[in-house]
Amino acid sequence: MGRVTKRIITVTIVLIVFGALAYPKVQPLFSSPADSGDQSGNQSNRTLQVEAVKLDYETIEDRIYSSGTVQANELVELTAEASGIITDIFFEEGREVERGDLLVKINDSELQAQKQRATYRLNLAEQREERQRRLLERGGISQDDYDATLNEVNVLRAELLLIDAQIEKTEVLAPFSGIIGLKYISRGSYITSATRIASLQEVDPVKIDFSIPERYIPRVQVGDQINFSVQGVDSTFVGEVYAIEPRVDPETRTLQIRALSDNRDQTLYPGAFANIVLILDQIDDALMLPTIAIVPELNAQKVFVYRDGKVEESRIRTGIRTSDKVQVIEGVSHGDIILTTGLLQVRPGMEVELTDLKKSNEL
Domain spanning 49-58+284-362: CATH 3.30.70.890: no
Cα–Cα distance for residue pair 265/268, rounded to 1 Å? 8
Q: pLDDT of 175-223, one tens digit each?
A: 999 999 999 999 999 999 999 999 999 999 999 999 999 999 999 999 9
pLDDT of residue 361: 86
Q: pLDDT of 202-215, one tens digit each?
A: 999 999 999 999 99
Q: At what angle do helices 109-138 and 143-168 cross, to 10 degrees?
A: 160
pLDDT of residue 5: 55
Neighbours of 324 (CB within 10 A): 10
Q: CATH number of the domain at 65-73+203-283, out of 2.40.30.170, 1.10.150.120, 1.10.760.10, 3.90.1150.10?
A: 2.40.30.170
Cα 128 from chain centroid (whole Å): 70
Judge whether 49-58+284-362 and 65-73+203-283 match in fold: no
Residue 267's identity, in one-letter code, is: T
Checking phi first, is residue 223 left (phi over 0); if not, alpha (psi -120 to 50) or beta? left
pLDDT of residue 31: 46
One-letter-per-residue 3-state SS of the chain: CHHHHHHHHHHHHHHHHHHHHHHHHHHHHHCCHHHHHHHHHHHHHCCEEEEEEECCEEEEEEEEEEEEEEEEEEEEEECCCCCEEEEEECCCCCCEECCCCEEEEECCHHHHHHHHHHHHHHHHHHHHHHHHHHHHHHCCCCHHHHHHHHHHHHHHHHHHHHHHHHHHCCEEECCCCEEECCCCCCCCCEECCCCCCEEEEEEEEEEEEEEEEHHHHHHCCCCCEEEEEECCCCCCEEEEEEEEEEEEECCCCEEEEEEEECCCCCCCCCCCEEEEEEEEEEEEEEEEEEHHHCEEECCEEEEEEEECCEEEEEEEEEEEECCCEEEEEECCCCCCEEECCCCCCCCCCCEEEEEEEEEHHHC
Scored b (16 or more CB within 10 A) or e, 255-287 reads bbbbbbbebeeeebebebebebebebeebeebb
Cα–Cα distance for residue pair 36/44, rounded to 1 Å? 13
Q: pLDDT of 331-355, one tens digit each?
A: 999 999 999 999 999 999 999 999 9
* pLDDT surpasses 60 at 14: no
* pLDDT surpasses 90 at 230: yes
* Domain layout of the chain by residue ranges: 2-45, 49-58+284-362, 65-73+203-283, 78-191
Please list the residues that pair with 97 across neighbouring strands: 178
pLDDT of residue 26: 41
